[in-house]
Every structure is written in C-alpha cells, then in structure tokens.
C-alpha cells in the first residue's frame, strides 16, 4: 500500500500550474490524485502533464469521492470565500492562496471553521520560505534576533480601475506579501504609524509603515504600484549582520564590519532556476505536506493569516 499523501487540486489556472502543480509533483511522497476544473482544455492539459488519474467539474463531488489528504484551492480572492468554506465544511485539510478572503471577517470565519473541523490549513505566504530569506532570518536569530526588517514590494500597475476592476484593493490582495513578511520576522506589534496614498491613479497604491515590535525590532513597509518594474526585496539587519535581498534574484550579506559582501544568487540557494523553487513555493508546499503528516499546523495557517489581515486593516485605519 502506498504511503503517499493524496492531494486534490481545485483549479488549473496560470498561477497554480506555474508553482503549485510542479512543486507537489516534485515531492516523492505526494500523489496528485484528482483535479477539479471547469475548462476541459485546462483540465486535459494538466492531467496529461502530471498524470492525474481523475478529473471533475464539481469539486464537492471530487472531495467526497476521493477523500484526499489535502485540497489546494487556488482562485482569485473575490471568489475564494464560499468555496474555501465549503471545503472546510467537508473536513478537508486546505491550502488557499493569499489573501484568505476579501476582508478580516471572511478570514476570521474561515479560521474559526478550520479550528472547529480540526483542519490543517495553510495560506500562501511563501516569501517567508524563499531560499534567500529563510537563511537570513535564521542567521539574524542566531545573532540575537532581528533588529530591523525592511520589506518592499514594487510594481508598475497602470489599470485605471484597480485590481479586478476595483473589486480587490492592492494592499490586501498583493502587497500583503510584504506586510506578512514584516509581521513574521518582527513578531507582535507594539506601535505603528502608516501613510497610504493615491498616486497617479484614483485608488490607494502607495503604502508606507513604520512599526515597532515588542521584540525590540523595527519594521519598515514600502509598497509602490507606480514603480518602474516588479521587485520584491527585503533587508534583514541584526547584530553584526546586514543582508540586502532581492528575493528572486540574489542576496548581498555583510557581516562584522567586513566591506566585502557574500553574494548568493537565488538559483544557487534553491538549486534550480525554476521560479517555484527560487520564490519559496516548493519549500512552502513541502512544509504543508510535512505538517499534514505530523498532524500539526504550519506557521502560516489560517488563524495566523488572520493576524496579517488585521495588520493590513490597521495600516489603512491608522494612516496619516
């Protein structure tokens, strides 16, 4: 009898097929047992590529018939909540992409349902586990803890109506990655100030926050959706250590006054040029599978994700 974890996928769009399918397929102890997808073309393509035995157009039927060890629900945030809730009601261990709902209340409701059903859950905040970020945070902890974390996310986004026609705001749906990395590295918040502005477009697209954490660390958020190009970067500062990290490209680490940086590329750290390896998706998905085997919650479970959503809400509420 196989001891592989059986994973069922809901959706076969660009994001899931770029990072989640290849990540899970790479794990020897995981079997992609079924996929639910409304597009016959996408379903056929992904079943052929990953040799997935079962295909469904009704995900409820898929979960009930296949009884998978885990379900991946990957879809735009404005469509997520009712389907995530249904998966949890069916008792599934559930992975969802960020954000876990359109607002804090949706996220809280999902977290409460997961706790009531004893479901193991994960929300997709993979930057925590990126091959250049995780070692930097570990080294900072080894040196006594993070003193300062700067988390920056820049994009050029020119749609006049906003994300998904204005259905979803930028900070909640996308820049939340930078917010989550700050909170993950810094811990519990003591005090903060923020500045949210509209620049060149009629919706919030500039985000700056200064946060003091109870650990003594300082966090700085920088988000700009009218920038020159897409860059996700962070700085990790600890005693005798500074690491400048372009998360999917390279890090430059300086230690103990040495002016020469130790340069590590994301490809070297990940052992692969594939974005699902460089970006932290593989490490995150492996952690979710390991957590299911161990019957424990991973750090970025739905209950934890609520705290990141609460911080997003607070950045808006306390803006200058």
Average pLDDT of 49-65?
Answer: 98
Tokens representing 163? Answer: 């994300």
Angle at 94 between CA 274 and CA 60, to 5 degrees: 110
Contact present, 223 and 175 (Cβ < 8 Å): yes
Tokens representing 53? Answer: 């035995």
Question: From CA 93, how far away is CA 96, in angstroms rounded?
Answer: 10
Tokens representing 245? Answer: 């990290």
Is 80 exceeded by the pLDDT of residue 26? yes
Q: Which CATH class is domain 5-125?
A: alpha beta
The string of pLDDT tens digits covering residues 69-92 is 999 999 999 999 999 999 999 999
Domain positions in the chain: 5-125, 127-275+302-317
Question: From CA 234, how far away is CA 185, in angstroms rounded?
Answer: 11
Is 70 exceeded by the pLDDT of residue 99? yes
Is 70 exceeded by the pLDDT of residue 23? yes
Average pLDDT of 202-225?
Answer: 98
Question: From CA 118, how far away is CA 96, in angstroms rounded?
Answer: 16
State the virtual CA torsion across 145, 146, 147, 152 in degrees, nearest 10: 180
The string of pLDDT tens digits covering residues 221-257 is 999 999 999 999 999 999 999 999 999 999 999 999 9
The CA-atom distances, in angstroms, between 19 and each of 24, 30, 202, 276, 288 are 9, 15, 32, 5, 14
pLDDT of residue 115: 98
Question: From CA 192, how far away is CA 89, in angstroms rounded?
Answer: 37
pLDDT of residue 251: 98
pLDDT of residue 1: 44
Task: Read off the pTM.
Answer: 0.96
CATH topology of domain 127-275+302-317: Dihydrodipicolinate Reductase; domain 2 (3.30.360)
Average pLDDT of 181-199?
Answer: 97
High-pLDDT (> 90) share of the chain, %: 98
């Amino acid at each position: 009898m196989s001891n592989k974890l059986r994973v069922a996928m809901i959706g076969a769009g660009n994001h899931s097929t770029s990072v989640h399918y290849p990540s899970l397929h790479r794990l020897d102890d995981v079997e992609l047992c079924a996929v639910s997808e409304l597009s016959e073309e996408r379903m056929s393509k992904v079943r052929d590529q990953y040799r997935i035995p079962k295909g469904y157009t009704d995900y409820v039927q898929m979960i009930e018939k296949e009884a998978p060890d885990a379900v991946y629900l990957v879809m735009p945030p404005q469509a997520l909540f009712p389907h995530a809730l249904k998966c949890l009601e069916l008792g599934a261990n559930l992975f969802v992409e960020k954000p876990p709902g359109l607002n804090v209340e949706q996220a809280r409701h999902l977290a409460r349902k997961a706790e009531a059903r004893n479901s193991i859950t994960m929300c997709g905040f993979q930057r925590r586990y990126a091959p250049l970020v995780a070692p930097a945070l570990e080294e900072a902890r080894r040196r006594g803890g993070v003193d300062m974390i700067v988390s920056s996310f820049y994009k050029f986004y020119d749609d006049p109506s906003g994300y998904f026609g204005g259905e979803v705001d930028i900070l909640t749906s996308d820049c939340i990655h930078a917010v989550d990395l700050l909170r993950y590295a810094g811990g519990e918040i003591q005090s903060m100030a923020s500045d949210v502005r509209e620049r060149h477009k009629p919706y919030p697209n500039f985000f700056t926050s200064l946060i003091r954490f109870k650990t003594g660390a300082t966090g700085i958020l920088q988000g700009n959706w009218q920038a020159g190009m897409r860059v996700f970067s962070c700085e990790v500062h600890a005693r005798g250590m500074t690491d400048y990290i372009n998360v999917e490209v390279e890090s430059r680490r300086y230690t103990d006054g040495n002016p020469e940086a130790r340069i590590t590329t994301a490809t070297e750290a990940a052992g692969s040029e594939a974005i699902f390896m460089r970006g932290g998706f593989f490490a995150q998905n492996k952690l979710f599978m390991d957590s299911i085997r161990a019957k424990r919650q991973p750090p970025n479970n739905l209950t934890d994700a609520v705290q990141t959503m609460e911080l997003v809400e607070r950045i808006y509420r306390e803006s200058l």
